[in-house]
Each structure stands twice: as structure tokens, then as C-alpha cells.
Amino acid sequence: MPQIIDGKAISTAIKDELKKEVAENNIKATLAVIQVGNDPASTVYVGNKKKACEYIGIGSRSYELPEETTEAELLKLIDDLNRDDGINGILVQLPVPDHIDEHKIIERISPQKDVDGFSPESVGNLCIGREGFVSCTPAGIIELLKRSGISIEGRECVVIGRSNIVGKPMALLLLANNGTVTVCHSRTVNLKEICKRADILIAAVGRPRMINRDYVKEGAVVIDVGIHRMDNGKLCGDVDYDDVSDIVSAITPVPGGVGPMTIAMLMYNCVKAARQVK
Ligand code: GUN
């Protein structure tokens, strides 16, 4: 039986630590959450983020903007929130509608309030090993590994996926933790062979159950970032869990693995943002 990495329990532990810190130090944090349009998945994510704020004792202010919101209107709201001393963190739920330039929006958020860690300054700091906000999903994966007693140093880490939100910052974080890192993507030749080298395999491919035992070395640690709804209504990840579970040493389930960690690390970033202005 592999070690099942319990993201729900670990995320709860992190949220409880933050809740205690907020209460004991009388930290006043408020997160502004902006959603443009009403993509159902985004509505669920945004709702969960607001619930987590409430649990920890962080305020949240919601901006639910119509699909037709212009880029200029959204930029104006961000400018107002950047100037607002009552707001420590600003989050614009992605994706934004096609008529809005995502990069322009991300760049406009003050780096001091960039709790998603998506701004060029935050990414640059991560790249050169300076303190800053780190993208929540990859930061959560590092916490999962550390709190499960899995060491990264010197190990072969393979990341499948090169998105700005997960793949690239994941590679940088593994490198910062002294892993030996390979990043694979849709154009990678010999994907199976490269994945089979991994001591730690991070699957952020975006394709349901693509990663089966042909991609996994005996004894590897497998982290599944994907989440997909199957025709039968159940959730699955990028990894074919049942196919690999007898050869891995540790694995994250879907749901209950990486997913809850993203929100826990967002809360961590919100508390960090509030600590910085104290
Ligand atoms: N869309 C999917 N994941 C995320 C995330 O972590 N932050 C934001 N703002 N949007 C997302």
C-alpha cells in the first residue's frame, strides 16, 4: 500500500495554524476577490476562498462583475483596491473573459497585494531566490511533500506541464529545494521514458487519467494536480490512480490531495500580506 498524501488533513492543519496566528497577534487581513462573469467552476472556487477566509478570521470583500465588464473598468477597480489601506490582498479569479488582457490585469495588482503570486515581480523573485508571494498550487505541493516527510534534495523531479500558474513555478520551487528538475510538455519527445526517471513526478497535464503505470517508476512519489469530472459524475485526476497505486511509494488522491492545498496557501499569502503592513 502506498502512502496516501492527505491534502485535506494537511490543509486543515495549515489553516488552523494560520487561524491561531491571526487570533493571537490580532492580525487584520482583508482579501478582495474579483470574479468577472459567472463561469460555474470559478464561482465554486471563489466561494471556497471566501469560506476559508471566514474560517481563519480574515475579512473578504467580493466583487462579482458582469461578463461585459471592460478591461478599463477592471483596471480602475484594481487601482482603487491598490490604494485602499483596508485591503491586504487582491485576487482576480482566472480565466477572465477573452476581451480582457489577463497579463495587463495581473501586472496592475500591486506586488505587495499579489496574494496569487502571479505578477512578474513575484515570479521574478521566485526565480532569483528572493522573498515574495509564491503561486499557491505549487507552494501547496511543496508543503505536502515536506509535511509528509518526503525529501526533495538531490532527487529527480519531473514536472509535466509548463503553465504560468503551476508548471513553471513548480519547477522553480523544486529547484530552490535542491531537486534535479525536468519540465515536460505537449511537445516533449519520449515523455514516458523521462517520466519513468522521476523520483517525484508532478502531473499537471490537464488530461484525465493520462498518466498510467507506463510513466511511473517503481517507488516514485506521484503528485496529481489535475481535477476532472467524469461522465459518471465522479472526479478524477491526470493520473490513473488505480493503475499506478501498487507501484508508487506515495500518491495524492483526487479529490483531497492537491486541491485543498491551493486555498490553504492562498490563506498563508493573505496572512503574510497583512503581516508585512503591520
Ligand atoms: N484559476 C485557476 N486557479 C487559479 C488561482 O490559483 N488563482 C486565480 N486567481 N485564478 C485561478
What is the position in ligand 1's atom list of the atom closest to the CA of 94? Answer: 10
Residue located nearest, by CA, to atom 11 of ligand 1: 94
pLDDT tens sequence across 21-66: 999 999 999 999 999 999 999 999 999 999 999 999 999 999 999 9
Choose one of 45, 96, 163 to mutate for the ligand 1 pocket test, by most ligand atoms within 8 angstroms of C-beta.
45
Tell me how far the alpha carbon of residue 190 lies from the centroid of ligand 1, in angstroms.
30
- What mean pLDDT do residues 13-20 have? 98
Q: To which H or E segment does residue 183 belong?
A: strand 180-184
Answer yes or no: are the C-beta atoms of 173 and 249 closer than 8 Å.
no
pLDDT tens sequence across 163-183: 999 999 999 999 999 999 999
Answer yes or no: are the C-beta atoms of 125 and 249 closer than 8 Å.
no
Tell me how far the alpha carbon of residue 221 lies from the centroid of ligand 1, in angstroms.
25
Residue located nearest, by CA, to atom 2 of ligand 1: 94
What is the position in ligand 1's atom list of the atom closest to the CA of 137? Answer: 6
The letter for the amino acid at 9 is A
Over 80: is that where the pLDDT of 277 sits? no
SS3 content of the chain, % helix, strand, coil (to 5): 45, 15, 40
Cα–Cα distance, 210 to 43 (Å, whole number): 27
Helix (H, G, I), strand (E, B) or coil at 256: coil
Q: Where are the beta strands (DSSP E) in 82-147?
A: 89-92
Over 90: is that where the pLDDT of 195 sits? yes
Return the pLDDT at 37: 98
Find how far residue 143's CA is from the centre of its chain. 11
Residues near ligand 1 with C-beta < 6 Å? 91-94, 116, 136, 165, 262
Mean pLDDT, all residues of the chain: 97
Residue located nearest, by CA, to atom 3 of ligand 1: 94
Tell me how far the alpha carbon of residue 57 lies from the centroid of ligand 1, in angstroms.
21
Question: What secondary structure letter does DSSP report for 274?
Answer: H
- The catalytic residue among 6, 114, 116, 199 is 116
Over 60: is that where the pLDDT of 11 sits? yes
Return the pLDDT at 278: 52
pLDDT tens sequence across 238-258: 999 999 999 999 999 999 999
Return the pLDDT at 130: 97
49 as an active site residue: the answer is yes
pLDDT tens sequence across 94-150: 999 999 999 999 999 999 999 999 999 999 999 999 999 999 999 999 999 999 999
Cα–Cα distance, 169 to 198 (Å, whole number): 18
Categorize the per-residue pLDDT at 276 as very low, low, confident or very high, splitting at 50, 70 and 90: confident
What is the position in ligand 1's atom list of the atom closest to the CA of 92? Answer: 9
Choose one of 133, 165, 170 to mutate for the ligand 1 pocket test, by most ligand atoms within 8 angstroms of C-beta.
165
Tell me how far the alpha carbon of residue 193 lies from the centroid of ligand 1, in angstroms.
31
Tell me how far the alpha carbon of residue 92 lies from the centroid of ligand 1, in angstroms.
8
